Structure 1
Amino acid sequence: MSATQGPGKTIVLHIGLHKTGTSSIQATLKHNQALLRERGMLYPGFLPANHSQFFINAFSSRAEHYHANRRQGLDAAAIAERAAEQMDRLGRALTQFRGSTILLSAEDASTLQAPEVAQTRSRLDALAESVGVQTNYRVLLYTRNPAAFVSSAMQENVKGNGMRLDDSRELHIRNASGRYRRIHDAWAAAFGSDAVSFRCFETACGEPGGLIGDFLRTLGIPPEGIEHRLTNEGISDEVTEFLSSLYLPESGAGHGRLQDCKMRIELTPEDREALFALRGSKGGLLSLADQIRTWDVVADDMHFLQAQFAITYDRPDAGRITPGEKFATGFLQDLAQALPRLSVPAREALLHYLLTRPVEPLQHENTEDTPE
């Protein structure tokens, strides 16, 4: 029996985008697995909360280069074995689960190239046919204001990927061109344009129940009683700039590549906990000039979103941009309490940074806080 449109199981593929609250969605789905099952949706328990590694291992031709596989020391044979075992368990879930919907969530799925997306469809179809289950598909992605996306991605690169701000800024501005059109076209070609839906992250955050409520309602799942789990909260711009100043330029080869740079000092876990907890400004890592440069790069993509999904973002306007309130009262109060908790090297480095940092603040558009 082939996997075609018609009655049967629906496989929902939530493919991101990065920096649109995916970690919080995934943690919430994992935490509420039992309740979701009662409401007709399976979030596979044999996978971790984030299904990105499964997606890459099962469907990508570049799995050996994936950061999680490198970190775990997995070679091609180990990757193939793990992917085969998890695909087999997914097949059993298709036959054993009595509900109508199986959900997979992987923001790194949005990085798959068109041939890999086609391979995703082919392998899912083959799996469904092998267990005699008809499948329909839904592909869901959330979009985000391009300037806010770049700023948030820069913060995450510095916080978690050992990357300097300058390199991260250039990487994300350069890669912003045509992103949404490329993703849409690859997934629409494989799964059909009717199956692919893009939704606005900012609008979703303003809906009842926020982003997670919007996500569940979009999939026909009542959000009542679902306990939210918010994770991967962003750190302040002040701390992000400080961390970036610690990376040694010669250690990371630059050129906008995602790779760990060495630090001038070694931060302890306690140092990071204290620094990450400091209140401060957020979303101000791009100057007005860089926001406009970003917009120039993504202009065609923004026209595509508006025409295809009625998603509209406003171009940065100098009249609506105000200086970022870095090092405001809340940050300084937290800093005074945190300094005694920092190790001596971290405290000395932070004080040196505060005394030597440029005094001209960056600028950003005033927006309300939203989940990272």
Structure 2
Amino acid sequence: MNRTVRRLLVGLQSFGKTQWALVAVLVLLGAALWMPKLALMHQRFTYVVTFDITQSMNVEDMTLNGEHISRLRYALAATRDAVRRMPCGSRVGWSVFTGSRALLLLQPIEVCEHYDALLASLDGIDGRMRWANASRIATGGIYSAIQQARQIGEHTAVVFITDGQEAPPRPASETSILGVTPGAVKGWLIGVGGDQPQRIPKSDSEGNPDGFWSASDVVQTNELSGAQAGAPSHEELSQLRDPYLQSLSGQTGFEYLRLTTPASLSRALLDPRFAESERVATDVRWYAALAAWLVLTGVFLPADRLARVMGVGLPTRQRVRKPARERARQSSAPLRPPPHNTADVPTRDSHPAAF
């Protein structure tokens, strides 16, 4: 037994750098194949994203990649980008709002495992799903979205995307939402739309264009009971109701964000205040595979080629050039005869004397 161990130790001592590298590669590849998932602490998020699909969201006053698109399409594009950036373990679901309630379409599901399903279902959301022309955002949409989040789970947050246009308009005297305790459910109120009033496209029940809404088609603010006399309103036109949405965020305890770029929604949804820390089974096998590749590359790839792959140049010896004045002086100096070698000239002492 001792002799076997001694031979093994002698054999290991004879290993060179290449042999040890191959052993390390085999170990790393084995880990890449059979290493189980590790439970690591991660931050995850759970959201129900509610889209306002009323007809004012069809106003094309947003620009994406040089193209004028509707507010709803812009919101969907921003959400698609946000899902792509969310960490694994997070869950997202979809809801739509019109009339006086939000309808849950998809319960929150994990973003990495169900990524394709999330994007496919997101592509199916449009204004043709509308079941009413009214738009009661505060007492209808936001209220029901909060109730949905409560039913789904404790850590579920709300993302409500709208332009803020109520139809009929909400009386100015209403400054709270009954049944909603500010801060009881976390959430984001996202405003989307331009600052200039635009005509609202009208569509039939099948989603076909049918002109635009006129002033006589909608309820104006000054027509509400108890409204103060003043300049006539133009509820047939639509723009982002930014101040109104900010007031709603205070009534609900939500954070408010005006959607100016798709990336701004991603940053909002990754806000650490909305994160929940938990242990998530994480696949780390690719780390071992990457380490094996690096070892093989470092051992078997020639140094000059490795430097080119890594974008690093090897140091080279450079000739030191003499100053121009010194070079000119050397080139103009007269040629001198080679030094006289006295050892090659016969002398008297180099021959024996004649007797």
TM-score (norm 1): 0.30
Which structure: greater helix fraction? 1
Which structure: greater strand fraction? 2
For the pair shown, the structure with the greater C-alpha radius of gyration is 2
